[in-house]
A and B are shown apart, each in its own frame.
Chain A
Amino acid sequence: MQTTNPRILWLLLAGCAILAIANNLRVPSECRVSWFGGQPVFPGPEVSQP
């Protein structure tokens, strides 16, 4: 019975974290997200214009 190599898993996770940061800097500004926080789940009620 073979065992998994935790080093490979850590390497994958660390590499993906670095590439995720690099990708957010690479994409156009309209596709970029802030580092923390998220999109609003529900928009607020619409305010009728006078």
Chain B
Amino acid sequence: MKPRSILAIVFMVLSTHLLLLSILEISFPGTFSISMRSENLKHFRMHVGIAEVVLAIALLIPAFRLDRTLSARILESTSRVGIGGMFVFASWFKIQNPQAFALLVAQYQMLPQWSINLFALFTPQLELWAGLALVLTKWTREMSIVLSAMFIAFIVALAQAVWRDLGITCGCFEMEGALSKKDAWISLVRDLILIWPTLWLATRPNRTLIGVWRGREQ
């Protein structure tokens, strides 16, 4: 392997690590946050998370310049596993308890009353199967389009909740009661970060994860 490729791998590993840290920093501050460990940084976890995203994107530039093909392969693989895995994880509690999820959907005050339960039943299934299919099948484009559409729907729902000053919780990963407006903001920022790799995946050719490394088209 050429030294340029090894250096590209190092940049990609660092970038992926930082992006993962930023999502954990923003979404699970009690468990993973770096900023929560320091009293001075406690109120700046959103800023720390966004700084990590910016740094992660900055590291992609030298990686792609050093070895474009290898970097694209690493980015495609990690994006598929990361985003697909996240959707599978997010769907699990909603599938186990549709009633509690329907309550979370209702607090957004966005959907007509008759459609809330149908939405609460259907959406987690779509998250689970589209997430699994993104990782395990070759239908990258189709699944990325479905997941991007879901991200857009979540972004619109969260943005209107922030706009209307609703004290809601995202309902993305766990079931909690209504929280402050700041939590809706945090979920909104996380979705605005994660939609970009999902949209990028929609531009990639359809192939399995193994096919990505064999360079197969279809």
Q: Which A residues have a C-beta under 8 Å from some C-beta of B?
A: 2, 4-5, 8-9, 12-13, 15-17, 19-21, 23-24, 27, 30-41
Contacts and interface: CB of A to CB of B under 8 A. Distances in A.
A18 to B, nearest CB: 9
B147 to A, nearest CB: 11
Interface centre among B95, B117, B145, B206 (most CB of A within 10 A): B117
Contacts of A40: 106
Contacts of A15: 129
B96 interface: yes
A13 to B, nearest CB: 8
Contacts of B116: 37-39
A27 B120 CA distance: 13
* 3 tightest Cβ-Cβ pairs between the two chains A and B: A38-B116, A16-B125, A20-B121
B98 A33 contact: yes
Contacts of B105: 38-39
Given A12-B129, A38-B120, 10 more contacts: A4-B142, A5-B139, A8-B142, A20-B121, A23-B125, A30-B99, A31-B96, A35-B118, A38-B115, A38-B117
Contact of A38 (B97, B111, B133, B139): B111
Contacts of A30: 99
A32 B97 CA distance: 7
B107 A41 contact: yes
A40 B116 CA distance: 10
Given A2-B206, A19-B125, A34-B117, A41 B106 contact: yes
B146 A24 contact: no
A36 B99 contact: no
A36 B121 contact: no
B102 A33 contact: yes
A12 B102 contact: no
A38 B114 contact: yes
Given A5-B139, A27-B97, A31-B97, A37 B117 contact: yes
B145 A9 contact: yes
B106 A36 contact: no
A23 B102 contact: no
B100 interface: yes
A35 B117 CA distance: 6
B141 interface: yes
Contacts of B118: 35-36
Contacts of B122: 16-17, 20
B146 A33 contact: no
B96 A27 contact: yes
